[in-house]
Amino acid sequence: MDKIEDQMTTEERMANLFSPEDFHDEELLIGKTAEMFIKQEVSPNIPSIEQHQHEVTRKLFQRAGNLGLLAIEVPEAYGGLELTKKISGLVAEKMGFGGSFSVSYNIHVGVGTLPYVYFGDEQQKQEYLPKLTSGEWIGAYALTESDAGSDALHPKTNAVLNEDGSAWVLNGEKQWITNARLADVFVVFAKTNEGMTAFIVERTFQGVSVGPEEEKMGIKGSSTATLILEDVEVPKKNILGDVGKGHKVAMNILNMARLKLAFSNIGTSKQALQLAVNYGKERKQFNTSLVNFTMIQEKLANMAIAIYGAESAAYRTAGEMDDAIDSADKVMLVNKISDFAMECALNKVNCSEMLGKIVDEAVQIHGGYGYMQDYEVERLYRDARISRIFEGTNEINRLTISKILLNRYAKAATSNNASTADQPLERNHQYIQLSKYLLQIALTAISNAHINIEHEQEYMRLLADMVKVIYVMESSLLRTEKAGNEKIKRLMTDILCEEGYRRMEEFVVEIISATETTEQKRRLWLDEIRHLSIPIYQNLFMLKREIAKNIIDNPKSII
The values of phi and psi at residue 178, to 5°, are -70, 140
DSSP for 221-287, please give it.
TS-EEEEEEEEEEEEGGGEES-TT-HHHHHHHHHHHHHHHHHHHHHHHHHHHHHHHHHHHHH-EETT
Cβ atoms of 479 and 19 closer than 8 Å: yes
Task: Measure Cα distances from 249 to 89, 111, 309, 328, 414 in Å.
Answer: 21, 10, 30, 18, 34
What is the spatial distance between Cα 463 and Cα 483, in angstroms, rounded to a whole number? 30
- Beta pairing partners, 77: none
Cα–Cα distance measured from residue 118 to residue 380, given in angstroms and rounded to the nearest whole number: 33
The Cα–Cα gap between 252 and 262 comes to 16
What's the half-sphere exposure (Cβ side, CA atoms, 13 Å) at 203? 16
Q: Are 151 and 161 in contact (CB under 8 A)?
A: no
CA 180 to centroid of chain Cα atoms: 22
Is residue 391 part of the annotated active site? The answer reads: yes
Spatial separation of the C-alpha atoms in residues 154 and 110, rounded to whole Å:
22
Q: Which of 238, 232, 248 lies closest to 159, judged by CA? A: 232
* Helices 25-37, 85-95: inter-axial angle, 10-degree rounding: 30
- Give the active site residue among 93, 311, 391, 499: 391
Contact 255, 502 (CB under 8 A): no
142 pairs with which residues across the strands?
A: 188
Question: What is the rounded CA–CA span in Å between residue 502 and residue 380?
Answer: 30
Give the DSSP letter string of 359-423: HHHHHHHHGGGGGSTTSHHHHHHHHHGGGGTSSS-HHHHHHHHHHHHHHHHHHSPP---GGGGGS
Report the C-alpha dihedral over residues 376, 382, 384, 389, rounded to 10 degrees.
-170
Task: Give the residue among 407, 306, 291, 414 at the shortest CA–CA distance from 355.
Answer: 306
Alpha helix segments (H runs only) across 17-147: 25-37, 46-50, 54-66, 85-95, 100-109, 114-119, 122-134
How many Å apart are CA 248 and CA 206, to the nearest integer? 28
DSSP string, 291-341: GGSHHHHHHHHHHHHHHHHHHHHHHHHHHHHHHHHHH--TTTHHHHHHTTH
Buried b (16+ CB within 10 A) or exposed e, 403-429: bbbbeebeeeeeeebeeeeeeebeebb
The total number of residues shown for the chain amounts to: 559
Active-site residues, by number, are: 391
